[in-house]
């Protein structure tokens, strides 16, 4: 399935969700991507993990109904310096870290103004990150349809689709309260392991 088709499928799944649930889905995607940035930041001493983690925590507070999005423009200002410049940082880990921060930015944008396209972009990006990782780590010789088929049949890709389904199931049943968001956050934290298998311990 090409990226455009996958994006369209996500749009259809998102279009009936209320605003806070759109933000919740996008925040869950950002959370499972988080170790990719945190480890890169630690290894190459790039960015401010405390600042970025604070932004992610603010998003969780927002979808639990405990934090207004009125000041989220400042969050975007804090996140911007932490987006790796891929022209300057010529290493594969920078791409993974870049995608992780972009996911957080998508969630902040959703919190500020409900946007199905931002949420669909974050979901699609999470699969794209997995595709890049598989290509880089074990399928350098593959291209085109052969590569796409290899990625879409890969356990890591299928696990992310299962994770996305679990997020939607959790959100569809949830009411906006701290307990429901704690449950979703626990799912998204995935025991500290990102969707490409990167852990912080």
CATH number at residue 81: 1.20.1590.10
- Asked, for residue 46, whether it belongs to a domain, the answer is yes
Instruction: Measure the CA–CA gap between 106 and 104, rounded to whole angstroms.
Output: 5
Instruction: Measure the CA–CA gap between 46 and 37, rounded to whole angstroms.
Output: 9
Position 178 pLDDT exceeds 80: yes
- Range from 45-49, 63-67, 97-101 carrying the lowest mean pLDDT: 63-67
Residue 123 to residues 50, 68, 177: CA-CA distances in angstroms?
24, 24, 23
For the stretch 18-31, pLDDT in tens is 999 999 999 999 99
Q: How many CA atoms within 13 Å lie on the side-chain side of 111?
A: 33
Position 53 pLDDT exceeds 70: yes
Position 1 pLDDT exceeds 70: no
Instruction: Measure the CA–CA gap between 105 and 100, rounded to whole angstroms.
Output: 9
- Asked, for residue 12, whether it belongs to a domain, the answer is yes
Q: What is the tally of structural domains in the chain?
A: 1
Q: What is the pTM of this model?
A: 0.95
Instruction: Measure the CA–CA gap between 48 and 10, rounded to whole angstroms.
Output: 31
Position 4 pLDDT exceeds 90: no
Instruction: Measure the CA–CA gap between 157 and 135, rounded to whole angstroms.
Output: 12
- Asked, for residue 126, whether it belongs to a domain, the answer is yes
Residues found in the chain: 201
- Asked, for residue 195, whether it belongs to a domain, the answer is no
Can you give the residue range of the structural domain that contains 131? 3-186
pLDDT for the residue 70: 80
- Asked, for residue 201, whether it belongs to a domain, the answer is no
- Asked, for residue 194, whether it belongs to a domain, the answer is no
Burial code (b: 16+ CB inside 10 Å, e: under 16) for 171-185 equals: beebeeeeebbeebb
- Asked, for residue 192, whether it belongs to a domain, the answer is no
- Asked, for residue 75, whether it belongs to a domain, the answer is yes
């Amino acid at each position: 399935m090409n990226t455009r088709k996958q994006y369209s499928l996500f749009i259809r799944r998102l279009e009936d969700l209320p605003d806070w649930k759109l933000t919740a889905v996008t925040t869950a995607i950002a959370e499972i991507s988080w170790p990719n940035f945190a480890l890169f930041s630690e290894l190459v001493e790039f960015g401010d993990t405390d600042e970025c983690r604070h932004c992610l925590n603010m998003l969780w507070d927002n979808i639990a109904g405990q934090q207004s999005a009125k000041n989220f423009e400042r969050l975007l200002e804090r996140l911007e310096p932490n987006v790796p410049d891929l022209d300057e940082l010529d290493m594969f880990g920078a791409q993974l870290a870049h995608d992780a921060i972009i996911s957080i930015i998508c969630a902040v944008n959703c919190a500020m103004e409900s946007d199905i396209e931002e949420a669909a972009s974050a979901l699609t990006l999470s699969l794209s990150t997995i595709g890049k990782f598989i290509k880089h780590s074990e399928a350098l010789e593959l291209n085109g349809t052969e590569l796409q088929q290899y990625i879409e049949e890969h356990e890591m890709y299928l696990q992310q689709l299962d994770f996305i389904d679990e997020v939607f199931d959790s959100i569809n049943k949830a009411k906006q309260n701290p307990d429901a968001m704690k449950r979703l956050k626990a799912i998204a934290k995935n025991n500290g392991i990102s969707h490409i298998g990167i852990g912080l311990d």
